[in-house]
Structure 1
Amino acid sequence: MIDVTAILLSAILSSVAAGAVAFHFLRQTAPQGANRSMPDHDARFLFQGRELLNVSGGGQWLFETGHGKGDSDWDQLRHVLAPRFPGLPVLPENMDADIVTCPTNLPDDEAELLLERINDLTRVTLLQHGDSTAQPADIHRRLMTDTRLETLEQAVEGSPYPIWASNCDGRITWANDAYKRLAENADTLDNADIPTLFDLPEVTPPAVPRTRLSLTLKESDSNIWFDVTSSQSSVGCMHYAIDINAVVQAEIAQRNFVQTLTKTFAQLSIGLVIFDRRRQLALFNPALIDLLGLSPEFLSSRPTLFSFFDRLRDMQIMPEPKNYRNWREDMSDLVTAASDGGYLETWNLPSGLTYRVSGRPHPDGAIAFLFEDISSEVSLTRRFRSQLEVLQALVDGMPQAVAIFSPSSVLTFANESYRTLWRCDPDSSFADLTLDDAMRHWMTRATAQADLTRIHPTQTDIISIPLINGQTLSCRVQQLMGGNFAVIFGQEQDAPHLPFLQNSA
């Protein structure tokens, strides 16, 4: 029973002590003098945790200037005082001691912020030392206003871009240093203290127009381009100019580059069409019209990629799909392959024309397709292949065995008689067969009396080669065009000679 009574007595005494402390803080924080005609300018704040319990008259004005800033009353007070007293804790419980003094960060400012904390109560007092008769709240308001104005002045005057103000009549009333430096170098006939450099259109609120204007400098034929933004108020306009000379020069260079490309594309014999990232036709050259027979009206309407290829299919300018149901899927695969730069096909058309079509990716997701008429090239290749086949058949039908070597003495061709005579197939070898390799094989069927070392690219005499089966061959080397040479084998009574293979040079 005694212990319970002691505990209750201790709790009552603690509550009374805490209440006395709170009453002491409240009494010192509350405004003094009920008959004052002017509001109390002393700046004192009493917090319980982060909640404001009481505030003096001058402190009330300071606190309300931060209305809506932060999630708590303490955050609102920090918004008002922290620019001047950066040492003010983020949270009251973060204080390093029960009494903390925060100095100001402004020059020639003798104020300090006194923080006192007991349990969860925190009192903040703005103290202004010196001989000033002004109240701390008034001094804080003036200092913050001066600091803000000084910051704005430094920002405007130190701006590298021209800024100026004009009245309702359009006369310039103020300009920053950048504008004045520009006016000194500008070629203008205005003799005013602050000359007008730009002829701006009228501004109608609430519009904030942006105007691109140029300015000529003294002793210079080139212009400097600016992007001028104007904002109107009740007393006139504020104007802000940004140097966009580099942007204008880049646009001119880009326009010239596009014109050069357009002229180049116009002279190409290869048809070119470019689709943008939305797969809509963006550019084509005249050769595309000549090759594909598409109308300029259709191309100028900027059809989509699928519409473009649908038109080609309808005009039988591209191979007819075997399965029309999969046509769209095939087109999607075509776009994907072109985007990766891997699309390359040869279109053999019913008209007898042959087109080589390739797709290449372009910047910003665009795709370019190239159409090249290779009908003549294909026809020439076919004729050349046919002639080679005729020549192959002619040489294979000869009774003489013929082996043709390149200038580096590598076997490049052997007719059927050579394969039969020497019982070998040079095409079955993965490695290149040289003249030395061939002679080693020839020695396997020749007698020891055969002297094959006499066979060389410049040899012109006829050589007799006795074979182990009793036959005797005659061998001769004949020079061909381009440094090639042929080794010809025949019966000894027949002189191995191929007039149509002889080098006319």
Structure 2
Amino acid sequence: MWFELQSFQNTAVLLALALAVAWAALALHARLTSRAGKASAQVTPNEVAFLFDGAELVDCTPAARRLIDITDGADSDLVKLARFLAPRFPNLLDRIACPGAEGPEALTSTDGMSRLQIKCAAGRLHLTLADATDSVRFYTPDRHSVAALFEELKMHRAMANNLTFPLWRQTPDGQITWTNEEYRRLSALLGAADAPGMPPTQLFSDPPQTNGDARQVQRVKLALPHEAEPRWFEYQVNWVADDILVAAVPMDRVVRAEHSLHGFVQTLTQTFAHLNVGLAIFNRSRELVIFNPALNELMDLSPEFLVARPTLTQVFDRLRETRMVPEQKDYRSWRDTLSELEAAAADNHYTDTWSLIDGRTLRVTGRPHPEGAVAFLFQDISGEIALERDFRTELLMQSAVIDGVDEAIAVFDTAGVLALSNAAYDHLWFEPDPSSPGLNIVDATRHWQAKCLPTPVWGDARDFAAAISDRANWSADIRLQDGRMLACRFDALPGGHTLVGFRPKSDAKDNKAMRRKEPAITGRMSA
């Protein structure tokens, strides 16, 4: 009995001791759980905390360290972080440089998704970046998605930094929030080193002009030390959310090409200025791009009108108004003529002669030029037309005079081809078309020989016409098959021409008198 009581007492003591240990363990677990809950309530998984001493990062959370690692640039950690967050927190650099002295300051991002707490204590700057709403706070992306985003960010950054032209992002008021490596390199060449905590300086003196439409082109230049010529760039501006992305594309080659082209055009203009032929060159859009002073003088077009780069249609309409083109029936027919003129000039086969009401005659020629351009030449040929008219009149007069001579006359040129004959010659030898091309001295002597009795005169005549020098005039008598006698003469004319005359023998006594008159006629013919 005693043994059982003693055993029961030992068991009770052990049970009490076990309960006490269990209670102590539960109490310790509750305390530890409470502390862990408080700690987790202070720092959530998505919060990012930094501690700066001046511009130097002295402590940060692992998430903050990852954020610092993805920032770009050679500046301090504070400046890099401020530039990285500036698109979402405007004027952040100013807030960090002068934090609020009356306790912490909280900033909300422009998209309302994040909150940044700024606190300055004991000369140190505390920054805490957290989600602003619960809907965002409880979303945690998986590490694979985060890794993929980081790789894409690195790729885009590498692409931007390997561009050979400056690229930057700025706010509408002109504050730069991000730059690529080329922008920073050019800034370093200019000696424009940014102070810690300050935004990047403007590289160009002429800021990009947006005026509500960011997609516009603006050309600027940048003078760098130790370079004789300035570099030329062209802005390409695009809106990115509420900011502006500006790319300064190098235009040095284009500018040099434009200067060369301008010099070439000036050279052409100076060359064409001495021509008496009016020149008008129209580009692919049919705008007047080159003209010379002769165009103004010939076509009565004012310099102000030509300098304004009128179109081809406007130029020819002005010529029609000033009656410097052939008269047209109506405006529709003039438009049809103008369309045909432009099409023919583009196909390289437009040539026309314009007879103007003031008595002048113009030769108008249209020719195609490279890159779809077309050129028109206006030449005053009034003098040539008058000279040709006078020459034809003189020829008709001389032909009439020669036709009035009774002697049959034929003139052969240096090649022995019949160049001239009179009516008496045609009547004598019954030639249907004695002046037809190809009738030479050989064919003529054979024809004469067929109508005459045999004689060596025709062979001598061929030799005389073919001789080049030492030709003396001579004469001979021949008899036709009908028995008539003809007195023939063979005279050397200036320029290697040969005159052959036939006169009936009964009139031979007058031959001497006729020969004293005819040299003057033949001399005028050869002239």
- TM bucket (normalised to shorter chain) is 0.5 to 0.7
Equivalent residue, structure 2, for 1:145: 149
Distance in 2, matches of 1:169 and 1:371, equals: 55
Equivalent residue, structure 2, for 1:357: 364
Aligned amino acid, residue 150 of structure 1: K
Distance in 1, matches of 2:339 and 2:209, equals: 51
**What is the CA-CA distance between 1:239 and the residue it aligns to?**
5.7
**What is the CA-CA distance between 1:443 and the residue it aligns to?**
0.8
Equivalent residue, structure 1, for 2:264: 257
Percent of aligned positions with the same letter in both sequences? 36
Equivalences for residues 33-432 of structure 1 within 5 A: 138-163=142-167, 175-176=180-181, 188=190, 198-202=203-207, 212-215=219-222, 221-229=228-236, 240-273=247-280, 284-296=291-303, 308-322=315-329, 326-361=333-368, 368-427=375-434, 429=436, 432=438
Distance in 1, matches of 2:325 and 2:310, equals: 17
Equivalent residue, structure 1, for 2:451: 445
**What is the CA-CA distance between 1:432 and the residue it aligns to?**
0.7
Larger Rg: 2
Distance in 2, matches of 1:234 and 1:278, equals: 38
Equivalent residue, structure 2, for 1:124: none
Equivalent residue, structure 1, for 2:460: 454
Q: 1:236 to 1:291 in 2, by over 3 A?
A: closer
Q: Is the 8 A contact 1:203 1:231 kept in 2?
A: no
Equivalent residue, structure 2, for 1:478: 491
1:436 maps onto 2:442 in alignment:
yes
Q: 1:426 to 1:197 in 2, by over 3 A?
A: farther
Q: Is the 8 A contact 1:274 1:367 kept in 2?
A: yes
1:464 maps onto 2:477 in alignment:
yes
Aligned amino acid, residue 361 of structure 2: T
**What is the CA-CA distance between 1:383 and the residue it aligns to?**
0.6
Aligned amino acid, residue 252 of structure 1: H
Distance in 2, matches of 1:450 and 1:298, equals: 76
Q: Is the 8 A contact 2:477 2:487 kept in 1?
A: yes
Q: Which runs of 5+ in 1 are unaligned?
A: 1-36, 38-135
Q: 1:413 to 1:200 in 2, by over 3 A?
A: same
Q: 1:329 to 1:227 in 2, by over 3 A?
A: closer
Q: Which moved more, 1:310-319 or 1:342-351?
A: 310-319
Q: Is the 8 A contact 2:223 2:229 kept in 1?
A: yes
Equivalent residue, structure 2, for 1:18: none
Q: Is the 8 A contact 2:351 2:366 kept in 1?
A: yes
Q: 1:345 to 1:165 in 2, by over 3 A?
A: closer
Distance in 1, matches of 2:349 and 2:478, equals: 56
Q: Which runs of 5+ in 2 are unaligned?
A: 1-39, 41-139
Q: Is the 8 A contact 2:421 2:435 kept in 1?
A: no
Aligned amino acid, residue 396 of structure 1: D
Distance in 2, matches of 1:444 and 1:398, equals: 25
**What is the CA-CA distance between 1:170 and the residue it aligns to?**
7.7
Aligned to 1:225, what secondary structure does the other structure show? strand
- Output the aligned Cα RMSD: 4.5
Listed one character per residue, the Cα deviations across residues 177-221 of structure 1 (whole Å, up to 9, x for unaligned) are: x5677789x6x566889x989434446887757653445677653
Distance in 1, matches of 2:377 and 2:276, equals: 10
User: What TM-score results when the alignment is normalised by the length of structure 2?
Assistant: 0.56
**What is the CA-CA distance between 1:305 and the residue it aligns to?**
5.2
Listed one character per residue, the Cα deviations across residues 448-490 of structure 1 (whole Å, up to 9, x for unaligned) are: 2344211222353323333322233343332223332223333
Listed one character per residue, the Cα deviations across residues 242-273 of structure 1 (whole Å, up to 9, x for unaligned) are: 22211111111122222233334443323344
Q: How many residues align?
A: 367
Aligned to 1:462, what secondary structure does the other structure show? strand
Aligned amino acid, residue 148 of structure 2: M
Q: Is the 8 A contact 1:204 1:232 kept in 2?
A: no
**What is the CA-CA distance between 1:331 and the residue it aligns to?**
4.1
Aligned amino acid, residue 140 of structure 1: H
**What is the CA-CA distance between 1:334 and the residue it aligns to?**
3.9
Q: Is the 8 A contact 1:450 1:466 kept in 2?
A: no
Q: Is the 8 A contact 1:478 1:487 kept in 2?
A: yes
Q: Is the 8 A contact 2:187 2:203 kept in 1?
A: no
Aligned amino acid, residue 147 of structure 1: E
Listed one character per residue, the Cα deviations across residues 77-112 of structure 1 (whole Å, up to 9, x for unaligned) are: xxxxxxxxxxxxxxxxxxxxxxxxxxxxxxxxxxxx
Listed one character per residue, the Cα deviations across residues 46-92 of structure 1 (whole Å, up to 9, x for unaligned) are: xxxxxxxxxxxxxxxxxxxxxxxxxxxxxxxxxxxxxxxxxxxxxxx
Q: 1:490 to 1:228 in 2, by over 3 A?
A: same
Equivalent residue, structure 1, for 2:519: 499
Q: Is the 8 A contact 1:198 1:213 kept in 2?
A: no
Q: 1:245 to 1:326 in 2, by over 3 A?
A: closer
Aligned amino acid, residue 143 of structure 1: A
User: What TM-score results when the alignment is normalised by the length of structure 1?
Assistant: 0.58
Listed one character per residue, the Cα deviations across residues 361-410 of structure 1 (whole Å, up to 9, x for unaligned) are: 45666554433222211111111111111111222222332222222222
Equivalent residue, structure 2, for 1:19: none
Distance in 2, matches of 1:290 and 1:329, equals: 27
